[in-house]
Amino acid sequence: MNEHDQKNMKRFMELAERARQNGIYTYSGFHSVRTAGLAYEVADEHELRMWGGTQDCERVVTRFGDPHEMAYDEPFPIRILYVRPKNEKFADKLTHRDYLGAILNLGIERDVIGDIIVADQAAYFFVLEEMADYICSELDRIKHTAVVCCITDEVPVDCLPKLCEENITVSSPRLDAIIAKVYHISRSEALKLFVSEKITLNGRLCRNPEILLKDNSKISVRGYGKLEYRGEEHATKKGKTGITIWRYV
């Protein structure tokens, strides 16, 4: 485990213990799904929930606390910011990096910011609630473009990532075989992704390439994308297995 992971593990342990001792929910900042999955090393599954502001976010906040023990629930402290140019006619073509850089230049820490969804000449940010008003008041320019930033209730459905159904044939419904097939890489290249800890399965770091997937399993491959395994469909005459996946596009 590297130094960065050790630091996050220590923080997760503190949050988990505070939730248990004080009977309150505690929250991390935003982390990658892989980093958030380290929380399973320090807390039981029923004590954890992860949410990024909408379904299948790349970055999520981890909540510690057992709802049955607490006897209450509460929403995650996440707000959605909508950023648009004041004048679209004179606006730069802004990228994800441009939006992220502009917020970080305000002196904001990276773990305050979740996913950024770029839509045409605007963008939606997921941010920690405690910093939402500050960002709205301070973010007025990105590169050479004057912008308006405000809090909104939701991201339009047509701006969210979409699932595309695919039917593929694999030699085995093992995780490494499916990843190799979906992303058009060799099995040896797929194995390197496990060694370098770039695979998460249902929110947890996965180091086992031989695992046989259960229906509706969610896989994230850092640097490649995300998919859902929907299950086996049929066996071919050559002894291979036809499966269905949903890939995020």
Residue 103 sits in the same domain as residue 84: yes
User: What does the pLDDT read at residue 181?
Assistant: 93
Between 174 and 30, the higher pLDDT residue: 30
Residue 128 has pLDDT above 90, yes or no: yes
Inform me whether the pLDDT recorded for 236 exceeds 80.
no
**Nearest to 160, CA basis, from 212, 226, 101:** 226
63, 85: one domain: no
Range of the domain at 177: 163-248
- Picking from 50-59, 118-127, 163-172, 229-238, which range would have the lowest pLDDT averaged per residue? 229-238
What is the mean pLDDT of the segment spanning 69-97?
A: 93
Give the domain-ending residue among 103, 124, 159: 159
According to the model, what pLDDT value does residue 163 have?
83
- Same domain? 150 vs 213: no
Average pLDDT over residues 33-57: 92
Residue 239 has pLDDT above 80, yes or no: no
Boundary residue ending a domain (142, 159, 176) = 159
Average pLDDT, the chain: 92
Are residue 103 and residue 58 in the same domain, yes or no? no
Both 96 and 30 in one domain: the answer is no
At residue 233, the pLDDT reads 73
How far apart are the C-alpha atoms of 203 and 179, rounded to whole Å?
A: 16
> Residue 10 sits in a domain of what CATH number?
3.30.1370
Residue 140: give its domain's CATH number.
Answer: 3.30.70.330
Instruction: Tell me: pLDDT of 241 over 90.
Output: no
pLDDT value, residue 234: 72
pTM, whole model, 2 decimals? 0.84
Do 91 and 41 fall into the same domain? no
Q: What percent of the chain has pLDDT over 70?
A: 99
Same domain flag for 218 and 238: yes
Query: Taking 80 as the threshold, does the pLDDT of residue 1 lie above it?
Result: no
Q: Are residues 167 and 244 in the same domain?
A: yes
Among 70, 99, 127, where does a domain finish? 70
pLDDT score of 81: 98
The number of distinct structural domains making up the chain is 3
Average pLDDT over residues 87-115: 94
Say if residue 146 is in the same domain as residue 82: yes
Q: What is the pLDDT of residue 180?
A: 93
- CA 95 remoteness from chain centre: 19
Question: Do residues 111 and 168 share a domain?
Answer: no
**One domain, residues 136 and 179:** no
pLDDT score of 55 more than 90: no
Average pLDDT score over residue span 102-106: 96
CATH number at residue 193: 3.10.290.10
Q: What integer pLDDT is reported at residue 227 of this predicted model?
A: 92
Mean pLDDT of 97-111: 96
Q: Is the separation of the CB atoms in 218 and 234 below 8 Å?
A: no
**For residue 238, pLDDT beyond 80:** no
Give yes or no: residues 33 and 85 share one domain: no
